[in-house]
Every structure is written in structure tokens, then in C-alpha cells.
């Protein structure tokens, strides 16, 4: 059976981008047609300046939102990365296969390192090695497919390269994974700055729709989205990125094709209104389930405990094999 692995970082409140780009497909498709693991990757949240209590709180909240989005612990394994030692164990071995040059070429490293420096902070070494840990997350489970948004494909490519290199040097140990992405809304953009992605780690702003935003907050954010100059509604990612983003969000939430939807509108106001309502409707059931889960923390703890145990059992044979193969 196809093995699927994917993760989410508890660096901020989850966004509409996380949901449309990743979580929704995990719940609707991946968990049913494969042997899937979904992980709150808390070790990755330590690569930038962070508040320990906040990371712990966001890890729980993210796990709860994964369940609220429809992940069913009877169908898939939901767990927290730091509960399973195999990730860090394998990461070190992969650091002995990766090169300094390939780490420095990672786009996200360059962007995030520049941001840390602009803030006057220092760049943590773990920010540089982050993609190796992500490769370990993926390779430890013999993963075939990694369903992620567009922004993560370069990291999955690295995991592929490391798997191939390790197998060639030390004997076949790892399955070579591949990234899979959604057809629409693979990259949801910031509503106030539609050339940047809607990222949860960014400072909270009016351009980011959070999964737990109240309906009126969602409406306000969508209605205030920047649109491009011009009057006509057309779908053009290059020239009209603000409009294209709204059309993609509407298509992802209500169905349809962004270019065809464009033809159905002759004003920005009507497009925004329909987009806002479509987002509110998509978020409503997730928020309802999240409320119910928040009232039952023991249930979430139990799911995570069992998930970690299952994950450990799946990862250990592969990680042990990698240790033997590399000479340990």
C-alpha cells in the first residue's frame, strides 16, 4: 500500500493556506487511499526565535485542528514529531550524506535567514539543516508520496536526492519519495501582499486568514483584500495576482475553475463577497469540530500517544537499517 507522510509546523496559528494547500486533501483523500502518517513537526518550530510555552500550546492546537479537519485516527496515524526519537536519530545520519552547498541553496533558507538578519537576530544552525531533518521525517517511514503545497517541493526534492545518494553509497535502504500537490490553490497568497504566500509564521496581519478566525473576521479580511488596478475580472497570475488569488480561493472553496469563474463576475465587490462566504462555509465545520475537541483534551492526548507508538514501530526498522548500512 502507498505510504504517505506529511507534516505541519507549530510556528503559528494554522491558516487557510495550510488547509487548502494541504490538510483538506489529507483528510478527504490521502488517509483513505493510503497508509498515511500526519505529523505536527515541533522540532522544526525551534529553528527560529520562539517562545517554548507557545510552541507547546500550538503543537496541541495544531494536532486538534488536524483532527477537526477530518483526519481519523482509525484511518491514519496522527502524532507529534518530538515524541518519536527516530526523526532526530536519522537526521544526523543524513547530515553525513548532505552537503553544505546544497543546504545553502535552499530558497526557504535564504529567505528566512535574511529575515532573521533583518530583525537583528542570529541565524540558528538548525535553520540551515532544517531540510535534512525534513528528509529524515519523510525517509524514516519508507514514504512514497508527500502531499504538500508548492512551497515545499524543493525540500521534497532534497529528500529524494539524499535517498538516492545514500542508497548508491551504502546499499538500498530508503524508498525514494515524490511530492504531490493540489490542482487548485497550491499556493494561497497573502490577501494584502499577493506576491507573498499566506504563511502562518509571518506576523499576524490582515492578509492572513486563520482557520479559527470568526466568520466576521474572515469577511472583513477578504473584503479588504488588495485587488489590482483595472475594472474587469480576469484570471492572470502574473499581471493580476490579487485577483487571481481571490479566484483561486473561491474555486478551491466553492468548486469550479478560476478562469471560468472570472467570467461570471463584473465587479470586484461581488467576487469578494462570494469568496468571503465560501471561505466561511469551508471553515465552519472545522471550527465546530475544533470546539468539541477542545472540550476533550484527554481524547487528543490519547490519539497522540497511540500515534507516536505506532509511528515509532514503523520508523525503527528503517532507521536501524540506515545505521547498520552507514557503519554504526
Residue that is written with C-alpha cell 486563520 in the block: 210
Tell whether 267 is in a known binding site: no
Per the annotation, the verdict on 272 as an active-site residue is: no
Which residue's CB is nearer to ligand ADP, number 13 or number 312? 13
Please list every residue from 172 through 201 that binds ligand ADP, using CB under 6 A: 186-188, 197-201
Which residue's CB is nearer to ligand ADP, number 9 or number 87? 9
CA distance 254 to 89: 43
For residue 22, the minimal CB distance to ligand ADP (Å) is 4
Please list every residue from 14 through 43 that binds ligand ADP, using CB under 6 A: 15, 17-18, 21-22
- Residue 205, number of CB atoms within 10 A of its CB: 12
Which residue's CB is nearer to ligand ADP, number 18 or number 91? 18
- Burial string for 127-140 (b: 16+ CB within 10 Å, else e) reads bbbbbbbbbbbbbb
Please list every residue from 199 through 218 that binds ligand ADP, using CB under 6 A: 199-201
Per the annotation, the verdict on 220 as an active-site residue is: no
Tell whether 226 is in a known binding site: no
Tell whether 303 is in a known binding site: no
Q: Helices 268-294 & 52-68, crossing angle to 10 degrees? A: 100
Per the annotation, the verdict on 200 as an active-site residue is: yes
For ligand ADP, the binding residue among 29, 95, 102, 151 (CB under 6 A) is 151
For residue 73, the minimal CB distance to ligand ADP (Å) is 19
| DSSP SS3 for 180 | strand
Tell whether 150 is in a known binding site: yes
Angle (CA) 184-190-195 rounded to 5° is 85
Q: What is the spatial order of strands in the sheet that 35-40 belongs to?
A: 77-80, 35-40, 3-8, 145-147, 178-180
CA distance 224 to 281: 19
11 binds ligand ADP (CB under 6 A): yes
Name the segment binding ligand ADP (CB under 6 A); options: 1-9, 126-134, 237-245, 297-305: 1-9
> Would you put residue 325 in left (φ > 0), alpha (ψ -120 to 50) or beta?
alpha
For residue 173, the minimal CB distance to ligand ADP (Å) is 25
Tell whether 188 is in a known binding site: yes
Which residue's CB is nearer to ligand ADP, number 146 or number 314? 146
- How many residues contact ligand ADP, by CB under 6 A? 21
CA distance 202 to 249: 20
Kindly list the catalytic residues: 112, 197, 200
Amino acid at each position: 500500500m502507498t505510504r504517505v507522510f506529511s507534516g505541519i509546523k507549530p510556528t503559528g496559528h494554522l491558516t487557510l493556506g495550510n488547509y487548502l494547500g494541504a490538510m483538506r486533501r489529507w483528510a478527504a483523500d490521502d488517509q483513505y487511499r493510503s497508509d498515511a502518517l500526519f505529523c505536527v513537526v515541533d522540532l522544526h518550530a525551534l529553528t527560529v526565535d520562539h517562545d517554548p510555552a507557545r510552541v507547546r500550546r500550538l503543537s496541541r492546537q495544531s494536532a486538534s485542528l488536524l483532527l477537526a479537519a477530518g483526519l481519523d485516527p482509525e484511518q491514519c496515524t496522527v502524532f507529534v514529531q518530538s515524541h518519536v526519537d527516530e526523526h532526530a536519530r536519522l537526521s544526523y545520519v543524513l547530515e553525513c550524506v548532505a552537503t553544505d552547498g546544497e543546504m545553502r541553496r535552499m530558497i526557504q533558507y535564504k529567505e528566512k535567514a535574511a529575515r532573521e538578519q533583518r530583525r537583528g537576530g542570529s541565524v540558528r544552525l538548525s535553520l540551515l539543516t532544517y531540510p535534512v531533518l525534513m528528509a529524515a521525517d519523510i525517509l524514516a517511514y519508507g514514504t512514497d508520496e508527500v502531499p504538500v503545497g508548492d512551497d515545499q517541493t524543493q525540500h521534497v526534492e532534497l529528500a529524494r536526492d539524499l535517498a538516492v545518494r545514500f542508497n548508491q553509497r551504502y546499499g538500498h535502504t530508503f524508498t525514494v519519495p515524490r511530492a504531490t500537490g493540489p490542482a487548485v490553490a497550491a499556493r494561497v497568497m497573502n490577501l494584502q501582499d499577493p506576491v507573498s504566500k499566506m504563511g502562518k509564521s509571518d506576523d499576524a496581519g490582515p492578509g492572513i486568514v486563520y482557520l479559527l478566525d470568526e466568520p466576521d473576521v474572515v469577511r472583513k479580511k477578504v473584503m479588504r483584500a488588495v485587488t489590482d488596478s483595472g475594472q474587469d475580472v480576469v484570471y492572470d497570475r502574473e499581471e493580476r495576482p490579487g485577483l487571481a488569488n481571490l479566484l483561486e480561493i473561491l474555486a478551491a472553496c466553492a468548486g469550479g475553475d478560476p478562469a471560468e469563474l472570472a467570467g461570471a463576475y463584473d465587479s470586484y465587490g461581488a467576487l469578494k463577497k462570494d469568496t468571503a462566504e465560501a471561505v466561511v462555509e469551508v471553515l465552519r465545520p472545522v471550527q465546530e469540530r475544533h470546539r468539541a475537541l477542545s472540550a476533550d483534551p484527554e481524547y487528543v492526548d490519547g490519539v497522540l500517544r497511540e500515534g507516536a507508538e505506532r509511528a515509532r514501530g514503523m520508523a525503527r526498522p528503517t532507521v536501524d537499517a540506515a545505521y547498520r548500512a552507514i557503519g554504526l
